[in-house]
A and B are shown apart, each in its own frame.
Chain A
Amino acid sequence: MLEETIQRTKAYYCLECGICTGSCPVSRYHPDFSPRLMVERALLRAEGLALEDREIWSCLTCGTCSARCPSLVDYNEFTRSTRVAARKDGHPGVDTHAGTVLAFMELQTKGAGERDLSWIADDLRTSRKGKVLFFTGCLPYFGVVFRDYGVDAVGMANSTIRLMNAAGVRPVVSPAERCCGHDPYWTGDAETMKTLARRNLRMIEESGARKVVFACPECYAMFKLVYPDFFGRLKFEVAHVTEFLAASVAKGKLAFGEMEGTVTYQDPCRLGRYAGVYDEPRELLAAVPGLELVEMPRARAEALCCGSSGWVSCTRVNKRIQLERLTEAAGTGASTLVTGCPKCNIHLACAARDGDIDDPIEIRFVTDLMAEALGT
Chain B
Amino acid sequence: MVSRSGDPNILALVCAWHPLTAADNAGEDGCTYSAKATVVAVECAGRVTTAALLKALAGRPDGVLVAACGRGDCHYSNGNESCEKVVEETREIMRVAGIDPARLGFDLSSDVDGRRFASLIDGFSEDISKLNGRAAGRARAVRKPARTRSGKRTTKRVSPKKKVATKRATGRKKVTPKKKTAAKRATGRKKAAPKKKTAAKRATGRKKATPKKTTAAKRAPSTRKTAKRATAKKKSATKSRRAKSTGRK
Contact = CB atoms under 8 A, between A and B. Distances in A.
Interface of A: 95, 98-100, 102-104, 106-116, 119, 140-141, 143-145, 175
Given A109-B58, A114-B138, A144 B96 contact: yes
Contact of A106 (B58, B92, B93, B139): B58
B97 A99 contact: no
Contacts of B138: 113-114
Contacts of B57: 107, 111
Specify which of A103, A111, A115 lies most central, judged by the most chain B CB atoms within 10 Å of its CB. A111
Contact of B89 (A102, A114, A119, A145): A145
B51 A115 contact: no
Contact of A98 (B51, B96, B98): B51
Interface in B63-117: 89, 92-93, 95-99
A95 B54 CA distance: 14
Contact of B49 (A100, A108, A143): A100
Contacts of A107: 54-55, 57-58, 93, 97
12 contacts: A98-B49, A99-B51, A103-B50, A107-B55, A110-B59, A111-B58, A113-B98, A114-B98, A115-B96, A115-B97, A116-B98, A141-B96
Contacts of A108: 97
A104 to B, nearest CB: 5
A109 B55 CA distance: 11
Interface of B: 49-52, 54-55, 57-60, 89, 92-93, 95-99, 138-141
Contacts of A110: 58-60, 141
Nearest to A102: B51
Given A99-B51, A100-B50, A110-B60, 4 more contacts: A103-B51, A103-B55, A113-B98, A115-B98
Given A106-B54, A106-B55, A144-B89, A111 B97 contact: yes
B54 to A, nearest CB: 4
B96 A140 contact: yes
A116 B95 CA distance: 6
A111 B99 contact: yes
Specify which of B52, B95, B97, B99 lies most central, judged by the most chain A CB atoms within 10 Å of its CB. B97
Contacts of A95: 51
Contact of B92 (A112, A113, A144): A144
User: Which A-B residue pairs are the 6 nearest by beta carbons?
Assistant: A113-B98, A99-B51, A103-B54, A103-B51, A112-B97, A114-B98
